[in-house]
Every structure is written in C-alpha cells, then in structure tokens.
C-alpha cells in the first residue's frame, strides 16, 4: 500500500535503470555465451569465447596489464592525494596565500576530458629531439627515454599520466575528510607533548582510515574502467603493451568483429565492477554516513 503510493516518483528511474542497465547487462552476459560476430546476424550458443580467452592466454595478459596499471595508479593517487591535502590544510592553518591556487591547479587536471590528458602527455613525451620531457631529463643527466615506443616503458608512461590525472579526486576527498577531524584532538595531543609525526600517525591516519578505504575502492573501480586517456596516449600499444581491459574489449568487437569474444571479456570486467561495488557497500555500511561522490 505504502509502496504503491510512492511508486509514481520512481517511474522515470525504473525506466532508465531497466532499459539502460538491467537489459544491457543481461544481454551482454547472453552474448558472451554465443559466437556472434558484429557483421553477420546469425549465432549459436557456445562456451567457445571463454575457453579461447583462457587457452590463448589473452585474458591472463590483459588482466596482468590492467592490474599493474590499476595498482600503481591507485597507490600513488592515494598517497599523493593525502600528501597534497595535508600540505593545503597546513597552509590554510598558517593562513598562507595561494592555497586556493594550488587546489585549483590540481583539480584542473581532473576536470579535463581523458582524451585531452592523453593528447597532452603524448606531446610532452615526444621522443624526437624537440620533445620537452626528454630535454628536461637530459638536463638532470638522464639519457633519452623511449616513453611510448618501448613496451615496458610505455606502461609506466601511461601510469604516470593517469596519476597526474586522478590525484585530484583523492586529494579533494581527503581534504574534506581532514577538515572533519576535531581540532581538540590535536590540541590535547600537543598538551601531552606529541610531536607532529606522532600526531599524524596516532590521530590523522586512524581517523582517516575508513575514508581512505572508501576512496581506495572508488578510484580502483574508475581506474579499472579507464579507456579514453589510454586510447589517446598509446592506443593500447606499442603492440598490446598498454592494452587494458576496456581497450581489449573494444579491440575484439570493433577491430576483429568478435561480438561474442568481446562480450566475454566485458563480462569479466563486469564481474570485477560488481565485486568492487560489493566491497564498497560492506565498507560504507561499517562507516555509516559515507556514501558516494
């Protein structure tokens, strides 16, 4: 009865979620069990895509590249975000000028489209004699770096660009978190003679731990889904050295026209998404009051 009265408010939401989430997700799972091609309509149900993905090692290779990419991106975004937010809060407490300018500069990288980030870093990582990053590195005695043409270096380059792009989100979340720690805690610790290092380890870090976990999960999910930035920076290359899951799915469907094979890889990504979402819900229940952003 009560639910029926509330229903009209949810009609648009139910339509959007049903049509654009529930239906496509079920359909992608169905397609993953077929040998459908993009160009011809007929197909049969088969487990072939999953078997091939495992047998050829495609899944293993793509997962490995993706996990390396996600792990290093996320660790550095979290640490740098924490460090920068501490530096800005410390500046605000000392009433320094320029804290807003610094905050804005960091956040600007977040507001840019991912494609733009890829284009910017491709210009910076130009490997010709007029490339600026190689020129700057040569000034500090580092020889020529093949940023985007060497398979092993390219993955590092992509990670660096992604850290540059994503640090702002962690910074702003933690900046808001740091502001909620009551000053009295620090005052009391000061009275007890705690050094600033001990205050950081015994007050700031434990108080921030739940938020840091939520932050970690959110950026892990979004990094797993990265597509546009890598597309513009390396296109997944050289070879397949920087081909993360999303690029691999795209490549399977739109370059080799294996709709079923791409859908199978997409289901793996979907499972990862849902696992992370589940962890996130468990975490945010424990730290009630934290939701999403």
Q: By CB under 8 A, what part of segment 228-257 binds other proteins?
A: 228, 231-232, 246, 249-250, 253-254
- Measured from the CB atom, the residue of 241 and 245 that comes closer to other proteins is 245
| One character per residue 163-182, x = contact with other proteins (rule: CB under 8 A) | -x----x--xx-xxx-xx--
Q: Tell me which stretch binds other proteins (CB under 8 A): 17-25, 57-65, 144-152, 199-207.
A: 17-25
- Measured from the CB atom, the residue of 189 and 270 that comes closer to other proteins is 270
117: enclosing H helix or E strand: helix 114-124
- Measured from the CB atom, the residue of 130 and 152 that comes closer to other proteins is 130
Which residue of 224, 230, 236, 243 would you call a contact of other proteins, by CB under 8 A?
224
Alpha-carbon distance of 56 to 196, in angstroms, equals 54
Q: SS3 letters for 18-77?
A: HHHHHHHHHHHHHHHCECCCCCCCCCCECCHHHHHHHHCCHHHHHHHHHHHHHHHHHHHH
Alpha-carbon distance of 124 to 146, in angstroms, equals 12
Q: Tell me which stretch binds other proteins (CB under 8 A): 52-60, 71-79, 122-130, 142-150.
A: 122-130
Q: Does 213 bind other proteins (CB under 8 A)?
A: no
Instruction: Please check whether residue 88 is in contact with residue 102, taking contact to mean a CB–CB distance below 8 angstroms.
Output: yes
- Measured from the CB atom, the residue of 23 and 45 that comes closer to other proteins is 23
Q: SS3 letters for 66-116?
A: HHHHHHHHHHHHHHHHHHHHHHHHHHHHCCCCCHHHHHHHHHHHHHCCHHH
CA atoms within 13 A on the CB side of 170: 31
Residue that the structure tokens 């660790």 belong to: 75
Which residue of 63, 67, 68, 107 would you call a contact of other proteins, by CB under 8 A?
107
By CB under 8 A, the residues from 61 to 90 that bind other proteins are: 84, 87, 90
Q: Tell me which stretch binds other proteins (CB under 8 A): 46-54, 113-121, 145-153, 184-192.
A: 113-121
Q: Does 147 bind other proteins (CB under 8 A)?
A: no
Interface with other proteins: number of residues (CB under 8 A) = 100
Q: Does 291 bind other proteins (CB under 8 A)?
A: yes
């Amino acid at each position: 009865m009560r639910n029926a009265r509330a229903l009209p408010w949810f009609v648009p939401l139910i339509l959007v979620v049903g049509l654009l989430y529930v239906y496509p997700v079920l359909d992608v799972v169905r397609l993953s069990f077929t040998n459908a091609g993009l160009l011809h309509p007929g197909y049969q149900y088969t487990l072939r895509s999953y078997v091939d993905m495992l047998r050829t090692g495609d899944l293993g290779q793509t997962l490995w590249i993706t996990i390396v990419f996600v792990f290093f991106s996320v660790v550095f975004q979290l640490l740098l975000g924490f460090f920068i937010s501490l530096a800005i809060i410390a500046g605000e407490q000392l009433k320094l000028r320029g804290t807003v300018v610094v905050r804005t500069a960091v956040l600007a990288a977040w507001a840019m489209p991912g494609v733009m980030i890829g284009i910017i870093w491709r210009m910076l990582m130009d490997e010709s004699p007029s490339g600026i990053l190689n020129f700057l590195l040569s000034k500090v005695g580092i020889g020529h770096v093949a940023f985007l043409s060497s398979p092993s270096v390219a993955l590092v380059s992509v990670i660096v660009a992604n850290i540059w792009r994503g640090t702002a989100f962690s910074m702003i979340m933690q900046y808001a978190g740091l502001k909620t720690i009551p000053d009295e805690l620090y005052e009391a610790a000061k009275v007890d003679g705690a050094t600033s290092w001990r205050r950081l380890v015994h007050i700031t870090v434990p108080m921030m731990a739940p938020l840091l976990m939520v932050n970690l999960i959110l950026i892990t999910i979004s990094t797993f889904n990265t597509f546009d930035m890598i597309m513009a920076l390396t296109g997944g290359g050289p070879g397949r050295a920087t081909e993360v899951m999303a690029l691999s799915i795209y490549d399977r469907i739109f370059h080799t026209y294996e709709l079923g094979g791409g859908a199978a890889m997409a289901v793996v990504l979907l499972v990862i998404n849902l696992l992370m979402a589940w962890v996130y819900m468990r975490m945010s229940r424990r730290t009630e009051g934290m939701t999403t952003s």
